[in-house]
A and B are shown apart, each in its own frame.
Chain A
Amino acid sequence: MSGRGISSSPGMREVSHKARASSADARSPAAGVRAPAPSVPEAPPAVRPPSPNGPGGADGTRAELATIGRRMRKVDGFAKASGRARYTDDIQLAGMLHGKILRSPHPHARIVAIDTSRAAELPGVHAVVTGRDMPVTYGIIPWTPDEYPLCVDKVRYVGDGVAAVAAVDEDTAIAALDLIEVTYEELPAYLDPHEAIEAAAGPYIHAPRKPGHNGNITKVVELAFGDVEGGLADADLVVEGDYFFEGTTHTPIEPHCAIGLAEPNGKLTVWSATQVPHYLHRELARVLDVDPALVRVVQPPVGGAFGGKSEPFDLEFCVAKLAMMTGRPVKILYTREEVFYSHRGRHPFHMRYRTGATKEGMLTSVDADIVLDGGAYASFGLVTTYYSGQLLTAPYQMPAYRFHSTRAYTNKPACGPKRGHGSVQPRFAFEVQLDRIAEALAIDPIELRRRNFIGSDTRTVNDLRVTSNGFLECLEAVERASDWKRKFGRLPYGRGVGVAGSTYITGTNYPVYPNEMPQSGIQLQVDRSGRVAVFSGASEIGQGVDSMVTYIVAEELGVPLEHIRVLAGDTDFTPVDLGAYSSRVTFMLGNACIDAARRIKAMVQEAVAEEWGTKPRAVLLAGGLAVMAGDTGTAMPLREAFNLAEAKYGTLGATGSYNTPKDVHGSYRGATIGASPAYSFTAHVAEVEVDAETGFVTVEKIWIAHDCGRALNPVLVEGQMEGSAYMGFAEALMEEQIFKTADQGRAGLHNAPSLLDYRIPTSLDTPALESLIIESIDPEGPYGAKEAGEGPLHPSIPAIANAIYDAVGVRMNALPFSPPRVWRAIRAAGKGRAG
């Protein structure tokens, strides 16, 4: 436990979502009338010890937080509940043209010729582009640029874009696509990553980077820490297992959409449903050869992303190019089928694990071999390949660890980051391994995990710095809430419970392109009316970032929530934030926001202190007032306090920024990937009912305990926990992003590119979810906060797998746990009704 006492149990609290009834407090007295005021918290926030570290650590000077920690409305909640929120496709510009992209019918082929002349002549068509109009490669990771906005000489998956048109309306654009003639020379297609790796002599999906390189391999990472073989040899028990995690995709309900507008003065504006406006800004300027100072990216509210909108896509380049060619605004909206083909989702992983343990259940060594099926392009794959190993080293200590991961190209849509990027798959395998160890040693699976707890304020075997760690409290919370001790191993045949744990990063320690500038910036501006404007570069994708900065400004300056306005995600006006990915925003932008707010606060305190003839620190800003400490009779409205400060300092505003500490990882090659300023921790218990006759698994309930550091608004944290657990459940039982082979029709064709056939869960499929918030108060997080958006997905899948074992005695080592798979496993194990 922490020597500083920051993450020790006595200071930690568990907040049950049962307390949600208190949300009624947020209602105005008159029923039915919207109350803008926040709710009253269900309990006074716990007092925290002061933090010696970090800009945004728990503030020891404040006995109680006024806003942070309450159950509050989101700032955009009513806009979204009234239809007023304007998403990208809701924007209609005068004279706007509609674009469509022609896509490859072949999984792998050379483009011999493209004839666009007939399409260009169709009445109503204003422009046609092909890859040759934008012959610059790009890639979200600067070291692996391997794709073009539209294919130039080769297509690499069914659905790869080859040409685009802009026409007066959608119907004309679709008709024009039919008139484009593309001559292809088909090439052998690789649908299996092992086949791609074994084809060392080619043909290759991408040109080899140097002589002798297999162009079907995108990245190999092998890292070893400690004495791996020695640890396995010394173990009392070595468990070996092969696992397969099927690919899945994000399926936000909003399809990708972008609008381009080029002006005669050279300015280019792109509105896009992206979660990375800054990276999109950079790539648009570079690929289209436009001065970045003339490029503006605007990110309207995004209707879900989950990692699926975190790099540039063909439509963004196409609307920009077509707008530049026509002088007209151009919109492209993906069809749902195109969303499935654009993908960038969860990589299929083929995994082999060897895990050694002593007879007391202490891990001695972990060894992993992983093949990642990357699809046609690199995307974030370099990072995924590292994450496949790097993020497994907590919350359990392991004295020795090795992983060997190979990412192969295949002729399928590229895989990339989906919620829990790269670490959901190994976590599934590893937590099932732990369950097997517990069973073999007759140790309760929760107890086994407790024994191996890595602790707080420590380093992992791969030298990642861990600060706060509430994992033990997570285990305890799910153990108690699920009535584990009464249920585990004791429920009737067909019914079972399973547990799993996990950790996840709170932001990546480094941006995708190396630079020394802040990861997150924010600007505040105070108006004479008392209003505070927040200029935030971060991307609101539903997770609540615009609300988060509002709560922080209210907390620091004492301004009522309704006096705070947020302008976000507009590269012309907002400072750079790197984007909504890797669970980085609350921690990084939150700290930047505290930084800016405290600069303004200092000026206001100074000005008011001068007026009152007291010391600045005696001036408190709270509840819309400036108040003298110890003398509540001396007070003035905040507006007057702001005006005094403006008179003294000039226009009142401040910027704030956050950059990561650099001492949080080792110095070996790759050590920075997986490094994060803080880690979240999660434990789940799942309870299932398995019908042995049909193999149908019903997940009755998932208990989710998550250490988010501090819940800035518990309503939002619970929403992230429940949404994560739901998405993990969906991957465990229902979803598969799979493609047909030549025998099944056409090679590389998506098996089911629609929401119902792909089978994302409906309300009737989704289990009951119970959130148990654990607050470990991170020393460097804003008010102690860490992430909540991705960590709570991880344990769903292994917890369900382990629950199936408890129910019917079969190990599910391949996803999804669909009725045919479970039924076959039960039959193969001879564990029918008699078992």
Chain B
Amino acid sequence: MEVVRLRVNGDERVCGVPSHYTLLETLRYGLGLTGSKQGCDKGDCGACTVIVDGRAVLSCITPVWEAEGKDVRTVEGLASGTVPHPVQDEFDLNGAAQCGFCTPGILCSSVALLDRNSSPTREEIRTALAGNLCRCTGYEKIYDAVEAAAERLGG
């Protein structure tokens, strides 16, 4: 058991974890931030995607030590107070979340995309989400939601 210090969603957090823990395990089982999901254990599905220093990162294959001193943003940190991030709201409006299990990761990939490209084309959205598997939607409604969010963000 070792002590790890992380900045998660703006909060400075300290917790004890086994030394082999990943960022995902630390978030879920160390800090109780269960929004980020484990779907495959090995970086295939993208359900664990979080934003580290502005980049979408697979937290299930990121040793937690690599995230020390960096800014970690998870699905729990996307809203501003009581106001959802436009991507979250558009996911809801467009039916982009069915079972919702891939949704936290896709939201993080989408927010990371929109933060660097405020008016992505549909093709750019497809490419940015290529590391996030969704088994329910066929992706169409996810693209619709990201496009609508970009529009709302003034891109």
Chain A residues within CB distance 8 Å of chain B: 20, 23-24, 26-27, 31-34, 39, 73-74, 76-87, 89-90, 92, 171, 250-255, 301-306, 333, 335-336, 541-544, 715-716, 718-719, 722-727, 754-756, 760, 762-764, 766, 768-769
30 contacts between A and B (CB under 8 A): A20-B94, A23-B148, A31-B152, A34-B84, A34-B89, A74-B92, A74-B97, A78-B84, A78-B92, A81-B84, A81-B88, A81-B91, A82-B88, A83-B36, A87-B101, A171-B18, A252-B135, A253-B45, A253-B134, A253-B135, A254-B37, A254-B39, A303-B101, A304-B99, A542-B100, A715-B141, A716-B95, A719-B95, A722-B141, A762-B131
Contact A77 B47 (CB under 8 A): no
Q: Determine whether the beta carbon of B98 is less than 8 Å from that of A754.
A: no
**Chain A's interface: helix, strand, loop or mixed, by majority?**
loop
B133 touches A253 (CB 8 A): yes
Does B93 contact A23, Cβ atoms closer than 8 Å?
yes
Cβ contact within 8 Å between B136 and A719: yes
CA distance in complex: A33, B82 (Å): 8
Q: Report how far A80 CA is from B42 CA in the complex, Å.
A: 23
The yes or no answer to B140 lying at the interface (CB within 8 A) is: yes
Q: Which residues of A contact B78 (CB under 8 A)?
A: 82
Which of A171, A335, A719, A727 lies in contact with B41, CB distance below 8 A?
A335
A74 and B130 within 8 A (CB): no
A760/B91 contact (C-beta < 8 A), A253-B45, A755-B44 known: no
Q: Which of A77, A335, A754 contacts B91 (CB 8 A)?
A: A77
Mask of B141-153 contacts with A, CB within 8 angstroms, 1/0: 1111000100010
Cβ distance A740 to chain B, nearest Cβ, rounded Å: 20
B126 touches A83 (CB 8 A): no
Complex: A171 Cα to B78 Cα, angstroms: 33
- On chain A, the residues within 8 Å of B100 by CB distance are 76, 79-81, 85, 301, 303, 542
CB of B49 within 8 A of chain A?
no
Contact of B139 among A39, A250, A766 (CB under 8 A): A766
A542, B99: Cβ atoms closer than 8 Å: yes
- Enumerate chain B interface residues (CB-CB to A < 8 A): 18, 28-29, 32-42, 44-45, 47, 74-76, 78-79, 83-84, 86, 88-89, 91-95, 97-104, 107, 125-127, 129-144, 148, 152
B83 engages A760 (CB within 8 Å): no
Report the minimal beta-carbon distance from B74 to chain A, rounded to whole angstroms: 7
Q: How far is the CA of A31 from the CA of B153 in the complex (A)?
A: 9
A305 and B28 alpha carbons, distance in the complex (Å): 22
For residue A577, give the distance in angstroms from its CB to the closest CB of chain B: 18
**If the complex has contacts A73-B93, A718-B95, A764-B127, are A82 and B34 also in contact, measured as CB distance less than 8 A?**
no
| Inter-subunit contact A23/B29 (CB<8 Å) | no
- Per DSSP, are chain B's interface residues mostly helix, strand or loop, or mixed? loop
CB atoms of A73 and B92 under 8 A apart: yes
Min Cβ gap A329→B in Å is 15
Contact A726 B133 (CB under 8 A): no
Q: Given A32-B152, A304-B136, A723-B98, is A336 in contact with B39 using a C-beta cutoff of 8 Å? A: yes
Residue of B nearest to A715 (CB): B95
> Once the chains bind, are A769 and B138 in contact (CB under 8 Å)?
yes
Query: Considering the chains assembled together, what is the distance between the CA atoms of A165 and B7 in angstroms?
Result: 36
Known: A754-B40, A755-B45. A83 touches B129 (CB 8 A): no
Q: Which residues of A contact B101 (CB under 8 A)?
A: 87, 252-254, 303-304, 542
Since A89-B38, A723-B98 are in contact, a sample of 20 more A-B pairs with Cβ atoms closer than 8 Å, ordered by chain A residue number, is A32-B89, A78-B88, A87-B37, A252-B135, A253-B39, A253-B101, A254-B37, A303-B37, A333-B38, A336-B41, A715-B95, A716-B95, A719-B137, A722-B137, A722-B138, A723-B137, A755-B44, A755-B45, A764-B126, A764-B127
Q: Chain A nearest CB: distance from B48 CB in Å?
A: 11
- For B84, the chain A residues whose CB sits under 8 A away are 32, 34, 78, 81-82
On whether the beta carbons of B134 and A82 are closer than 8 Å, the reply is no
Chain B contacts of A82 at CB under 8 A? 35, 75-76, 78-79, 84, 88
Q: Are B136 and A20 in contact (CB under 8 A)?
A: no
Closest 3 pairs between A and B when the two form their complex, measured CB to CB = A83-B35, A303-B101, A542-B99
Find B135's partner among A31, A81, A83, A304 (CB 8 Å cutoff). Answer: A304
Q: Which of B86, B102, B125 contacts A32 (CB 8 A)?
A: B86
